[in-house]
Amino acid sequence: MTDAMPPSKFEDADETIEEAATATSNMEEDSAMCEPHDSSTDKTSADYYFDSYSHFGIHEEMLKDVVRTKTYQNVIYKNKFLFKDKIVLDVGAGTGILSLFCAKAGAKHVYAIECSQMADMAQEIVKANGFSNVITVLKGKVEEIDLPVPQVDIIISEWMGYFLLYENMLNTVLYARDKWLVSDGIVLPDNATLHLTAIEDSEYKEDKIEFWKNVYGFDMSCIRKQSMMEPLVDTVDQNQIVTNCQLLKSMNISKMTSGDASFTAPFKLVAERDDYIHALVAYFDVAFTVCHKMTGFSTGPRSKNTHWKQTVLYLEDVLTICQGEFVVGTMTVTQNKKNPRDIDITLKYSLNGRRCNVSRTQEYKMR
């Protein structure tokens, strides 16, 4: 959607400030494992993950996410007092855009850790922009890197994935925090929240999910079952929203532990009009609360578009809901046991309304 972000507690990410170094680079999700040097070794999902970040295309997409990139730029350039003469660690530096912002803001030194092949490009970018004496690019796994310094003052990272936690890069930031951050150090961003709402989406569900029930006269419902289990990452029109939006989970990145990213949270979604509910929608907000003026952004359907879009979980049932009635339940989010970068979601929901009574448990897998 293209509607503008409404007034909120966050400083406007689109406010015009010093122009971003758009020809330089981009930031991306932080890295935790390198490609194996032995090409004969079978690749794991982590290897394919880092391979994907070796291509410039994904960096271009994220750099052009103005909400995302401008927010980080605002945080750094408008709060130079936080960065001046400080040692900064950029976790998952990608092409080095965050490191360049920090160096330009007066950081004493920036250590940029990147595991994909993009680290080589980041090194060239740093040199081309005259920051080789301030930024050191370190290629490797965060858990295996030896920093040239025992501690850092600030850790900055863009670790968020779809549904906030998909690809599970948060644990790498927490590892770096516990290993290198000084006792009064800063993690940026320092707060993240996951939210839930419900939407009417009959047209898409009919076209993409119910389609498998009758394909040119043949029953392909087995594929429908699979499609129902895979959350859809897409942009939701705010006019589709039927209920209130509820906070599911709040995370203080400065204090939380890695286990806090797995949780069960209750929800109560109250209908704001008579309508049908076909899916629940999750989105996240992030905040930088240590700034002079609190800054952040939302990936919600009522905010300006980001590359994260929203995460749509289709329901088996079509819920006929009247204004004031509510869907209650719980959502359980856990790391997949075989691949911790993937997410397993268990949704329990019920509606006891005048025209609809439903109680069900559904499983979803983000892969």
- Domain of 136, CATH number, reads 3.40.50.150
Chain segment 267-317, per-residue pLDDT in tens: 999 999 999 999 999 999 999 999 999 999 999 999 999 999 999 999 999
> Are residue 239 and residue 351 in the same domain, yes or no?
yes
Count CA within 13 A, CB hemisphere, residue 176: 35
Q: Nearest-CA neighbor of 7 among 304, 307, 239?
A: 304
> Are residue 112 and residue 225 in the same domain, yes or no?
no
- DSSP type of residue 258: G
Give the structural domain span for 118: 45-158
Looking at every residue in the chain, the average pLDDT score rounds to: 87
Chain segment 3-25, per-residue pLDDT in tens: 433 445 565 544 433 333 333 33
- What does the pLDDT read at residue 59? 64
pTM, two decimals, is 0.85
Q: Which of 29, 114, 167, 200 is catalytic?
A: 167
> Are residue 151 and residue 209 in the same domain, yes or no?
no
The question of whether 144 is a catalytic residue gets the answer: no
What is the C-alpha separation between 24 and 60, in angstroms, rounded? Answer: 10
Q: Which of 158, 230, 272, 316 is catalytic?
A: 158
| DSSP-derived 3-state class of residue 97 | helix
In a domain, 322, yes or no: yes
Q: Left, alpha or beta for 12 (phi > 0: left; psi -120 to 50: alpha)?
A: beta
Number of domains in the chain: 2
- What does the pLDDT read at residue 18? 38
Residues 180 and 87 sit within 8 Å (Cβ to Cβ): no
> Are residue 352 and residue 242 in the same domain, yes or no?
yes
The question of whether 316 is a catalytic residue gets the answer: no
Q: Which residues contact 309 (CB under 8 A, 6 or more apart)?
A: 162, 233, 234, 235, 236, 299
What is the C-alpha separation between 3 and 302, in angstroms, rounded? Answer: 7
Residues 15 and 252 sit within 8 Å (Cβ to Cβ): no
- DSSP type of residue 266: E
In a domain, 109, yes or no: yes
- What does the pLDDT read at residue 20? 35
In a domain, 170, yes or no: no
Q: What is the maximum alpha-carbon separation in the chain?
A: 69
Q: How confident is the model at residue 58 (pLDDT cuts 50, 70, 90)?
A: confident
| DSSP-derived 3-state class of residue 293 | coil
Chain segment 195-218, per-residue pLDDT in tens: 999 999 999 898 889 999 999 999
The CATH number of the domain holding residue 317 is: 2.70.160.11
> Are residue 145 and residue 222 in the same domain, yes or no?
no
